[in-house]
Amino acid sequence: MKCQVTLRQMARLELSEAKLWYDSQLPGLEEIFLKAVDKALKKLEDSPEIFPLYYLGFRRLDDASLPI
């Protein structure tokens, strides 16, 4: 079952901060990070049932494939 993924305000803020951090660590790392985020969100959109239910129908994406 496909679903629409919506990022909460706090997640959008954390994503913006993470982009800046990745960019400051190594040129080009921000792009790798954003591609990994896009891939993870697409996975969540395509197969939400594989991610744990978090709260009132919301699912949480904790993806270890994101670069650290």
The residue extents of the domains of the chain are: 9-59
Distance CA 21, CA 40 (A): 19
pLDDT for 67? 64
Q: How confident is the model at residue 58 (pLDDT cuts 50, 70, 90)?
A: confident
User: Does residue 41 contact residue 15 with C-beta atoms inside 8 Å?
Assistant: no
| Chain centre to alpha carbon of residue 4 | 14
DSSP for the chain reads: --------HHHHHHHHHHHHHHHHHSTTHHHHHHHHHHHHHHHHHH-GGGSPEEETTEE----TTS--
Question: pLDDT, tens digit, for every residue of 24-54?
Answer: 999 899 999 999 899 888 988 898 888 888 8
pTM listed for this prediction = 0.77
